[in-house]
Structure 1
Amino acid sequence: MTDTRKIAVVASNGRNGRLIVREAVARGFDVTGFARSENKSEAQHFVQKGIMDITADDLAGFEAVVDAFGAWTPETLPLHTTTSQHLADVLSGTQTRLLIVGGAGSLYVDPEHKTQLYKTPDFPKEYVPTASAQADELAELRKRDDVKWTFVSPAGDFQADGERTGSYILAGEELTLNERGESVISYADFAIAMVDEVESGNHVGQRISVVRR
């Protein structure tokens, strides 16, 4: 049985993870953080453990697990898929939902969903490896129906130190612009959207995206 106000945040010490923890705690969730180093977040409970060492017993009873893992160096990029698949294996067959902090590069730029953003000519070349790795991660998740996954993509301009406006547009598979023609969101507003999805559980087995209103 899952506890409807009990969640875990994996990679809780990262900049995304810490803000997601803060948002969840502020809304009254009972949050357990998981990270390799000592706790740097506001999580009420903490387990010092790497993702690949997390077991089914560690995640038993949670309503949702938020995977805030990120990697950016060439040798670690494959870990996007490796780690999320491990968590999916651990949660396979349970009622616990798995929500993953995704990337914008895998969003589609056409209604036919043939062309992803990172494959367009103007996409910054330095970000292609990371975008490709997260596109692979999503592709592997799409193959699974044994775990209640949701992949949450930020806007193209994902601002670590951007302001918390408290407002965002919820979109789907396609790159979405706001009224000013922007594809931008702050980490703080993304955290709001992530915790909203934890609360609603409306997009199991789907990729959603968010952009500042």
Structure 2
Amino acid sequence: MAQITVLGATGFAGGHIAREAAARGHELTLVSRSTPQDAPEGARIVRGSVLDGDVLAQALDGAEVVVGALAPRGDMEGKVADAYADVAARLAGTGARFLIVGGYGSLRDASGRRIVETDAFAPEYRPESEELLDAYERVAATDVDWTYISPAGTFGAFVPDQSRRGEYRTGGDTAIVDADGVSAISGPDFALAVVDEIEAGAHRREHISFAY
């Protein structure tokens, strides 16, 4: 089993990933500014900001896999790319993997354009998506063993149906859609896919995506 550190463990993606990893017996360190209310039993909790060097050092100590599930909003707006660059610098030479939960806008459409650059992308989400794309480009330029993972377009706590189907499809950096042209995945199934990737290590230094 791996020693996994989850950054942003109280968020939607981070929380689901933590619970899935715990259910499979992995050792967890959860990092959040607030204490997780439903933290898996036995998880080590590091409370504080990833922008605090001492907090980050404690969180990364002994980690074999680091999952970045930070949201670039609120007081983290405009700071996530810097935080992930710091994580990458600290992981350099350790052999630890760094998996980043990115944004749908980082993917490409059928024409090859980044979705965040198209008129179809909602402008209110553009700054957040561009921040995560910047994080991807900066970490990808390092020697760290990274994987950048984009969820489907319909993904998040706002989606009423969060059932676990136990299935998903894996794609590259082009968005996956179903027969009706919909790109979606639930939190539990996205977490299933992420922990499968942690265990298999099948997509190292790649931008991948998960959707139904």
- The 5-angstrom pairing of residues 48-67 of structure 1 reads 48-53=47-52, 54-56=55-57, 58-67=59-68
CA deviation vs aligned residue, 1:51-106 (integer Å, no higher than 9, x gap)? 12244454233220111111234x74321201111111111111110111100001
Letter in 1 for 2:150: S
Q: Answer with 161-170 or 101-110: which moved more.
A: 161-170
Classify the secondary structure of the residue corresponding to 1:39: coil
Unaligned runs of 5+ in 2: none
Match of 1:126 among 124, 127, 143: 124
TM-score w.r.t. length of structure 1: 0.88
- The 5-angstrom pairing of residues 79-94 of structure 1 reads 79-94=79-94
Contact 2:172 2:209 (8 Å CA) reproduced: yes
Classify the secondary structure of the residue corresponding to 1:176: coil
Distance 2:179 2:169 in 1: 10
Report sequence identity in percent.
35
Cα 1:58/1:118, change in 2 over 3 Å: closer
Q: Answer with 124-133 or 156-165: which moved more.
A: 156-165
Distance 1:57 1:32 in 2: 10
Q: 1:151 — aligned with what? A: 148
Distance 2:49 2:93 in 1: 22
Classify the secondary structure of the residue corresponding to 2:105: coil
CA RMSD of superposed structures (Å): 1.8
Q: Answer with 149-158 or 161-170: which moved more.
A: 161-170
Classify the secondary structure of the residue corresponding to 2:107: coil
Unaligned runs of 5+ in 1: none
TM-score w.r.t. length of structure 2: 0.89
Q: 1:7 — aligned with what? A: 4
Q: 1:116 — aligned with what? A: 114
**Structure (1 or 2) with the greater strand fraction:** 1
Contact 1:154 1:210 (8 Å CA) reproduced: yes
Contact 1:109 1:175 (8 Å CA) reproduced: yes
Q: 1:176 — aligned with what? A: 176
